[in-house]
Amino acid sequence: MEKSTKIAKSAELREQIEDVTALVLVEFDKLTVADADELRNRFRDAGCTYKVLKNSTIRFAIAGTEHEPLTPHLKGVTGLAYNADDPGAPARVARDFAKDHDAVNVKAAVIQGEVLDAAGVSRLADMPGPLELKAKLLTLFITPATNMVKVMQAPLRDMLNVLNAKKDKDAA
């Protein structure tokens, strides 16, 4: 590959990952074509970008960025996964796929300049995604209002129960 092509690929990758908070490096050795396609599809379904690039291309793309601490992990066959909206999504896909396939390992990840090992990637994968966080926040906002409505309805409901009990007693 010509040097100008390598530089262009590195520049293109740098543009794509400059606003991404987390990158995950996946090592796959002796992975079948069908399994590789399945891995790509899982990343795609999770909204992640997954690329298999030369280590030198990745190294040049992350040089001088907050992702640069990943450089020592760029050895062997490397796949790069990221998601701009949900930093935990590529970690979840990689971890879950590695559980089912011995040929796949999570090398490392970097999130906001901090390198994570396989255990750290697992913790990142356990983090809730943005939709889950929004749902929990919405629940926190709605719960006090719901409880207030229940408390305000309680005296009327209790009064109605007393009147119904009196009516049932008089009817018997």
Q: What is the pTM of this model?
A: 0.71
pLDDT score for 81:
92
Kindly state the tokens that stand for 150: 């229940």
Gap between the Cα atoms of 140 and 133, Å rounded: 11
pLDDT score for 29:
82
Burial class (CB in 10 A: 0-12, 13-18, 19+), 15: exposed
Count the neighbouring beta carbons within 10 Å of the beta carbon of residue 99.
Answer: 9
Identify the sign of the CA torsion 129, 130, 136, 139: negative
Short-list 22, 37, 98, 27, CA closest to 67: 22
Gap between the Cα atoms of 43 and 51, Å rounded: 10
Q: Which CATH architecture has domain 3-127?
A: 2-Layer Sandwich (3.30)
pLDDT score for 106:
87
pLDDT tens for the chain, 172 residues: list them.
Answer: 677 887 888 888 888 888 888 899 999 888 889 999 999 999 999 999 999 988 889 998 998 888 889 889 898 888 999 988 888 889 999 999 988 888 888 888 888 888 888 888 888 887 777 777 788 888 888 888 888 888 888 888 888 888 888 888 888 7
pLDDT score for 65:
87
pLDDT score for 43:
93
Q: How many CA atoms lie within 13 A of 7 on its CB side?
A: 3
Gap between the Cα atoms of 107 and 54, Å rounded: 15
